[in-house]
Amino acid sequence: MGLCAARTGQVTMMEDPASPTSALLAGLVMLANCTGSDGGIYQALDAHVPPVLLRLAEAEGSGFELQAGCGRVLRNLAQHTYGRVQVIDAGGLNVVAQLLASNDEELQALGACASRERPNEWLAQARVTL
């Protein structure tokens, strides 16, 4: 199955509140692997992955594993110019701030990586959001 066919199913599954955590984690691993290249990032952006990821990361009951999985994909997307724009437009500053404020070092590192490219853009957007 190609990435295009797989991503549609993964994004749909992530939006379903009845999806088991194990399936969500598997989908996040697949998306993290796919978004390691420009082609995968473009496909994820075409599938409108950022808002789905952000909703999943902020959902009540999202534990460490789900937050870390979302953080990995978010990190990959936010390091690309177009991805960063979509992540910010979808409200990603709140999730990045939550990652940075976490007591867990891995989540902090994911937040730092997501915001490391052009931090002034992130800070300027945070001021507008606050």
Question: pLDDT tens for residues 75-112?
Answer: 889 888 888 888 888 888 777 777 777 787 877 777 77
Burial (CB count <10 Å: 0-12, 13-18, 19+), residue 63: exposed
CATH (domain of 71): 1.25.10.10
What global pTM score does this model have? 0.76
Q: Give phi and psi for 35, each to the nearest 5.
A: -90, 20
pLDDT score recorded for residue 6: 46
pLDDT score recorded for residue 106: 78
Task: Tally the domains of the chain.
Answer: 1
pLDDT score recorded for residue 42: 92
Domain range enclosing 59: 3-129
> Residue 123: pLDDT above 80?
no
Question: pLDDT tens for residues 12-66?
Answer: 777 777 788 888 898 899 899 989 899 999 999 998 899 988 888 888 778 888 8
